[in-house]
């Protein structure tokens, strides 16, 4: 009876009200399902059987350290054989492009030497493109395969990444390259995916200690391998995807200011460390007892400078003024 009266009530409404109400209902339903879908895909969904889905040979670039090494170990635990170097003629079923490099420390773009930015482009862009190009024909022949490229939140999530501009730009390439390849090859049985990590405790970001928001390479790799084959773009580690979600609520100009502050602080600390090291090295040559200065002492000196909050340019002038001919060399480096 009640259902009948509801139907009668609906029939009495103009069609535009029914259309708008349906759209509203679907939007609410979608919003309600999103957290459930996140819980399922992050914690409950089983990883694919990679060996039967893609084949038994995997190639991981950058497998000597960090994320690449941890992913290679995870894949080996799941029964895949890892290729070491020569890929010509071998049936690579799964390729993980994890090799990557960045600046030694935060820098303005005009401070980045040509050799450095070229090496970033070579490793992050050219090597990924070349290795992917080399394995794709075999995957196409077998009509199955997976390519996983490691991108970065630096380009996919944040509106800007000042003081690491070339790094962020190379990762933007990886993101778009992967999404386009996903669209090109999905129908041919090849899954291309860009994974977008936030911070992971590796040597690249000079972090040894993991925490809730900065997983260890092993923690990241376990989640990363479970996500292979599920969609063109993902943030496998649970706390990383929460960070992405929070970031969506922060206006771009606030994120820009925050990254600018982090970049300037890192750059100045790195400059101070470099100048301090150079000065100690040069003083050691003139004053024999200075040869006794330990790295720990140098660290203390550096911290003292940082704590004084002196501007890096002012600092370099002081260092230049305090020493004779060699200082100009130091100041210009």
Ligand X SMILES: NC(=O)c1ccc[n+]([C@@H]2O[C@H](COP(=O)([O-])OP(=O)(O)OC[C@H]3O[C@@H](n4cnc5c(N)ncnc54)[C@H](OP(=O)(O)O)[C@@H]3O)[C@@H](O)[C@H]2O)c1
* Catalytic machinery residues: 167
Work out whether 186 is an interface residue with ligand X (CB under 6 A): no
CA angle 89, 92, 98 (to 5 degrees): 125
For ligand X, the closer CB: 98 or 132: 98
Encoding tokens for residue 197? 């990590």
* 10-25 per-residue burial string, b: 16 or more CB within 10 A, e: under 16: eeeeeeeeeeeeeeee
Q: Strands of 94-97's sheet, edge to edge?
A: 81-83, 57-61, 94-97, 145-150, 190-195, 233-234
Work out whether 20 is an interface residue with ligand X (CB under 6 A): no
> Which CA distances in Å does 67 have to 122, 151, 220, 294, 314?
19, 12, 7, 33, 39
Work out whether 101 is an interface residue with ligand X (CB under 6 A): yes
Among 42, 164, 202, 268, which residue interacts with ligand X (rule: CB under 6 A)? 202
Among 37, 52, 64, 265, which residue interacts with ligand X (rule: CB under 6 A)? 64
For ligand X, the closer CB: 157 or 315: 157
For ligand X, the closer CB: 37 or 64: 64
In whole angstroms, the minimum distance from the beta carbon of 77 to ligand X comes to: 18
Stretch that binds ligand X, among 32-40, 198-206, 238-246, 253-261 (CB under 6 A): 198-206
CB 224 within 8 A of CB 67: yes
In whole angstroms, the minimum distance from the beta carbon of 246 to ligand X comes to: 17
**Cα separation, 294 vs 2, whole angstroms:** 85
For ligand X, the closer CB: 210 or 301: 210
Work out whether 161 is an interface residue with ligand X (CB under 6 A): no
Work out whether 68 is an interface residue with ligand X (CB under 6 A): yes
Work out whether 215 is an interface residue with ligand X (CB under 6 A): no
In whole angstroms, the minimum distance from the beta carbon of 60 to ligand X comes to: 9
Work out whether 262 is an interface residue with ligand X (CB under 6 A): no
**Cα separation, 170 vs 182, whole angstroms:** 18
For ligand X, the closer CB: 173 or 189: 173
CB 323 within 8 A of CB 279: yes
Q: Residue count at the site for ligand X (CB under 6 A)?
A: 20
Residues 114-153 that bind ligand X (CB under 6 A): 123, 150, 152
SS3 annotation, 226-295: HHCCCCCEECCCHHHHHHHHHHCCCCHHHHHHHHHHHHHHHHHHHHHHHHHHHHHHHHHHHCHHHHHCCH
Stretch that binds ligand X, among 2-10, 199-207, 234-242, 315-323 (CB under 6 A): 199-207
Q: How many CB atoms lie within 10 A of CB 278?
A: 18
Q: Which residues bind ligand X (CB under 6 A)?
A: 62, 64-68, 98-101, 123, 150, 152, 197, 199-200, 202-205
């Amino acid at each position: 009876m009640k259902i009948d009266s509801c139907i009668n009530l609906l029939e009495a409404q103009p069609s535009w009200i029914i259309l708008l109400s349906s759209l509203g209902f679907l939007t609410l339903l979608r919003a309600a399902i999103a957290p459930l879908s996140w819980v399922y895909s992050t914690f409950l969904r089983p990883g694919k059987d990679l060996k039967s889905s893609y084949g038994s040979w995997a190639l991981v670039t950058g497998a000597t350290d960090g994320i690449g090494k941890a992913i290679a170990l995870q894949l080996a635990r799941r029964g895949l054989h890892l290729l070491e170097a020569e890929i010509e003629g071998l049936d690579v079923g799964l390729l993980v492009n994890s090799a990557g490099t960045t600046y030694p420390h935060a820098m303005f773009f005009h401070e980045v030497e040509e050799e450095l930015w070229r090496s970033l482009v070579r490793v992050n862009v050219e090597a990924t493109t070349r290795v992917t190009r080399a394995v794709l024909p075999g995957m196409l022949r077998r009509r199955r395969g997976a390519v996983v490229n490691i991108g970065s939140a630096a380009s996919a999530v944040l509106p800007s990444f000042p003081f690491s501009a070339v790094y962020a730009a190379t990762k933007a390439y990886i993101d778009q390259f992967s999404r386009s390849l996903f669209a090109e090859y999905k129908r041919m049985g090849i899954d291309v995916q860009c994974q977008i990590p936030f911070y992971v405790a590796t040597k690249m970001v000079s972090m040894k200690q993991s925490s809730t928001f900065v997983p260890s390479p092993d923690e990241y790799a376990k989640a990363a391998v479970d996500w292979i084959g599920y969609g063109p773009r993902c943030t496998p580690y649970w706390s990383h995807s929460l960070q992405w979600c929070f970031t969506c609520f922060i206006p771009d100009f606030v994120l820009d200011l925050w990254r600018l502050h982090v970049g300037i602080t890192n750059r100045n600390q790195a400059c101070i460390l470099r100048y301090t090291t150079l000065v100690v090295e040069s003083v050691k040559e003139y004053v024999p007892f200075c040869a006794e200065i330990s790295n720990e002492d140098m660290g203390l000196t550096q911290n003292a400078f940082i704590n004084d909050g002196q501007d890096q340019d002012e600092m370099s002038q002081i260092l230049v003024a305090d020493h004779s001919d060699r200082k100009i060399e130091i100041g210009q480096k």
